[in-house]
Amino acid sequence: MSNLTNKVAVVTGGNSGIGYATAKELASKGAQVVITGRNAAAVSKAAEELGVTGIVSDQAKLDQIDNLVTEVKDQFGKVDILFLNAGVALFSSVATATEEHYDTIMNLNVKGVYFTVQKFLPIINDGGSIIFNTSVNAALGVPDSSVYAASKAALLSLNKVLASELASRKIRVNAISPGPVETPLYGKLGLSEEEVSGFGSLLGKKILLNRFAKSEEIANAVRFLASDDASFITGTELTVDGGLTVNAVIY
């Protein structure tokens, strides 16, 4: 099942959470994996633990994306799987959002992702697989998530357009939309511990399966989309949310 031997996979933001679990899963299926992140110590620790290659690269800085592509090309030649996972979730009401809040999210979650795809394209093998990590947030009206939600909605648009543009090269492009996943991300939202736990218990009740996902459950879905098991799937959004977005019960 899902043999990825001889495939080269790049997982952006692979030193933590969903990216870490996905790097582990892809490597376990035989892929040669590269992970990225900004924090050099975290990248090298994770790379060592996972037995993969770690490259420090800030996705919000175009020159660092150029360096990443050059390093991957020098070490591996080509790429088969590109998982655009690195992203930030920051919350603010529209009334108080600053330009810095907007730029931080958009520069990383949209601009950085867009140019990562563009800059990797010359070294992605025909028949390769590109996967965006979006979020169910893109489709929900969660208060205070306007910029984050819009950033993920932008990726869903890119998903469809790029699936069309890259079909001539047999490159499949898909999006994964996780619901809430147990990762360190919740400590980085810019909310107090009390707010995070209130948010968590409210969301927990809305999720049909009554719990957050584990990173490994998102990783399994990414591995499926990355592999030949998904050979006729392109331009789609795979929602992995334990039923959150189909729950008709209003609390």
Ligand X SMILES: NC(=O)c1ccc[n+]([C@@H]2O[C@H](COP(=O)([O-])OP(=O)(O)OC[C@H]3O[C@@H](n4cnc5c(N)ncnc54)[C@H](OP(=O)(O)O)[C@@H]3O)[C@@H](O)[C@H]2O)c1
Point out the residues that are catalytic.
148
Of 16-24, 159-167, 200-208, 242-250, the window that binds ligand X (rule: CB under 6 A) is 16-24
Would you call 152 exposed, middle or buried from its count of C-beta atoms within 10 A (0-12, 13-18, 19+)?
A: buried
When asked if residue 145 is in the footprint of ligand X (CB under 6 A), the reply is no
Smallest gap, in angstroms, from Cβ of residue 49 to ligand X?
13
When asked if residue 38 is in the footprint of ligand X (CB under 6 A), the reply is yes
CB 12 within 8 A of CB 116: yes
CB 174 within 8 A of CB 129: yes
When asked if residue 59 is in the footprint of ligand X (CB under 6 A), the reply is yes
Q: Residues 90, 147, 175, 181: which binds ligand X (CB under 6 A)?
A: 181
DSSP three-state, residue 128: strand
Name the CA dihedral angle for 158, 160, 161, 163, rounded to a multiple of 10 degrees. 110
When asked if residue 141 is in the footprint of ligand X (CB under 6 A), the reply is no
The site map against ligand X for 93-122 (x = CB under 6 A) is ---------------x--------------
When asked if residue 207 is in the footprint of ligand X (CB under 6 A), the reply is no
DSSP string, 89-127: -----TTT--HHHHHHHHIIIIIIHHHHHHHHGGGEEEE
Length of the chain as a residue count: 251
Using CB under 6 A, list all residues that contact ligand X: 12-19, 36-39, 42, 58-60, 85-89, 108, 133, 135, 178, 180-181, 183-185, 188
